Amino acid sequence: MKYTRRDAAKLALASIPAVRALAAPNSRINGVQIGVITYSFRPLEDIDQLVRTIAQLGISEVELMSNAVEVFAGATGAGFGARGGTPQEQAARAENLRKWRLSTSMDRFKPVRQKFDSAGIDLALLCFNMRDGNTDEEIDYAFRMAQTLGVRAITTSTTVSMSKRIATVADRYKMLVGYHGHDQTSDPNEFATLESYAKAFEYSKYNGVNLDIGHFTASNYDAVAFIKEHHARITNLHLKDRKRNHGPNVPWGMGDTPLKDVLRLLKMEKYSFPGNIELEYPVPAGSDAPTEIAKCLKYCEQALA
């Protein structure tokens, strides 16, 4: 990203057509729900500004990063601005955040749902990245947060070994978990290969997939075939474009990801899960995240026309 945390609030609304603010957001295109993960707006994590920006873009479904929820509730060490530092500083920050999580009332999260509901945005998913160092109590906290927010599923970037621990909690809450993959195909404990997803599926019927079709393509797999076979396990897609053979993220239409084929498959099969825009290609000089997300949304509109 080319802008600072201080600049984020100014940039978030600067380039969105004003006409968007006059209509209720609706990004269901010919039956396909297109949404966005709030990671796309990094480092913006202020809930009110996220709601306004997403609504003015005309997007009606969101996958909300948990750091924004925790910052709203008063946590320190949860936001993008709290990253970095020495290993000792990181460990101390993680311990302080853990203590905060286990002492915080779920009531502090309830206004978040109300803000999205009031704007006409479906808060469908909570992205809560559960690390190997998280305690069982923190895993339970993630599910309680999701339950309080009223989302349909949790998405998470984690490891295959963690998915076994998470599975027991998912079973208890009867909530689907979408494991987000990357392209570290050389590490069997990372969600990257077909075998890694198959292993997670064995642990629980609530273990599913947040399929990132860009990373999946970079790993030289066929996203269309995987979706056809495992659609019942998919919480949502992450839409982006990457080159094969572990190539870079690129503006949509310039890579090898079968974006149009995937979108048309969702339309044809009437799958209920959303395709969420995840902005990861470098933002060009003179542009900003909302402008690029608007371009991605336009791409979806044209592909689904």
213-269 pLDDT, tens per residue? Answer: 999 999 999 999 999 999 999 999 999 999 999 999 999 999 999 999 999 999 999
Query: What sections of the chain are H helices per DSSP?
Result: 5-14, 47-56, 66-72, 87-103, 110-118, 136-149, 160-173, 194-203, 213-218, 223-230, 259-269, 289-303
pLDDT of residue 90: 87
> By C-alpha distance, which of 41, 19, 24 is closest to 278?
41
Beta-carbon contacts of residue 76 (< 8 Å; ≥ 6 apart):
82, 96, 97, 100
12-36 pLDDT, tens per residue? Answer: 444 454 444 457 899 999 999 999 9
Domain that holds residue 92: 5-303
* CATH number of the domain residue 34 falls in: 3.20.20.150
Three-class SS state of 64? strand
DSSP 179-210: EEP-S-TT-TTBTTSHHHHHHHHHH-TTEEEE
- For residues 62 and 123, is the Cβ–Cβ distance under 8 A? yes
Q: What is the mean pLDDT of the chain?
A: 93
Residue 305 pLDDT level (bands cut at 50, 70, 90) = very high
181-201 pLDDT, tens per residue? Answer: 999 999 999 999 999 999 999
pLDDT of residue 81: 62
105-137 pLDDT, tens per residue? Answer: 999 999 999 999 999 999 999 999 999 999 999
Parallel, antiparallel or unpaired: strands 241-242 and 249-250:
antiparallel
pLDDT of residue 18: 42
Provide the number of structural domains found in the chain.
1
Q: What is the mean pLDDT of residues 45-61?
A: 97
pLDDT of residue 79: 73
Q: What is the mean pLDDT of residues 82-92?
A: 84
